[in-house]
Amino acid sequence: AQSVSQHNHHVILSEAASLELGCNYSYGGTVNLFWYVQYPGQHLQLLLKYFSGDPLVKGIKGFEAEFIKSKFSFNLRKPSVQWSDTAEYFCAVNNGAGSYQLTFGKGTKLSVIP
Amino acid sequence: DTGVSQDPRHKITKRGQNVTFRCDPISEHNRLYWYRQTLGQGPEFLTYFQNEAQLEKSRLLSDRFSAERPKGSFSTLEIQRTEQGDSAMYLCASSPAPRGANTIYFGEGSWLTVV
């Protein structure tokens, strides 16, 4: 069975600080990897995704993530956060093309202080 | 906005009552999913449909939970004889038929509070 581990429950940063949120998954086969964001009072939105190819993927709002297969990791990064990035971030994985089930981590709450 | 829509957004019910949630997926999305999210946790997969066929339902939490998608468009999730432990956010999502990689789009969710 797949599982996803997000290392930080709550991260507090000042504006302009750099962000890295950890995500590790356990599954030995082909995986698709996702980061979703949930802003306060809003629905889950896709930030970025990795299916194949370049392991460094860029998403919306300046976010990027790097897939490191040997470490089973898919960490999310942003060089300079803004107050508007305050949200909860979820890492998720499914086992390849056609897969119907996303397995989510518990989420990391990010608070950005102006 | 042509995203996934869910109704009602909030439901408060007494223990033992039945509740039903409706989901309208993005137009032309063949796949429809139901997830549950409790406080402090990520969404948890419950069931999914491809068109009108319910292809996976083993993750439904108990036999009090059932879902339908009779015409392959909207779907309903029913919880019978609600219990306090059913209090959660129920999320619907949809995606196109899988031709390779599959991106899933979520609705805003339906909050259930059982008192």
Question: Which residues from chain A sit within 8 angstroms of residue B108, using beta carbons?
Answer: 42-43
Residue B81: predicted pLDDT = 97
Using CA atoms, how far residue A2 sits from A25, A28, A105, in Å, is 7, 9, 10
Residue B115: predicted pLDDT = 96
Name every residue whose Cβ is closer than 8 Å to that of residue A8 and which is 6 or more positions away in sequence. A21, A22, A108
CA distance B14 to chain A (A): 25
Question: Which residues from chain A sit within 8 angstroms of residue B103, using beta carbons?
Answer: 34, 46, 49
Contact check, Cβ <8 Å, B102/A94: yes
Q: Choosing among B104, B105, B111, which should be mutated to test the A contact, i.e. which has the most A CBs within 10 A?
A: B104
CA angle A10, A33, A74 (to 5 degrees): 55
A-facing residues of B in 46-105 (CB < 8 A) are 48, 50, 55-56, 59, 91, 98, 100-105
Question: Which residues from chain A sit within 8 angstroms of residue B109, using beta carbons?
Answer: 43
Residue A98: predicted pLDDT = 63
Residue of chain B minimizing CA distance to A42: B108
Residue A77: predicted pLDDT = 98
Nearest by CB to A43, from B31, B59, B106: name it: B106
Contact check, Cβ <8 Å, A44/B106: yes
Rounded distance between C-alpha atoms, residue A3 and residue B56, angstroms: 19
A-facing residues of B in 14-43 (CB < 8 A) are 31, 33, 35, 40-43
Tens of pLDDT, residue by residue, chain A (114 residues)? 789 999 899 999 999 999 999 999 998 788 889 999 999 888 899 999 998 899 999 999 999 999 999 999 999 999 999 999 999 999 999 876 567 788 999 999 999 999
pLDDT exceeds 60 at position B36: yes
pLDDT exceeds 80 at position B114: yes
Angular region, B73: left φ>0, alpha ψ -120 to 50, beta rest:
alpha
Are A93 and A27 contacting, i.e. CB atoms less than 8 angstroms apart?
A: yes
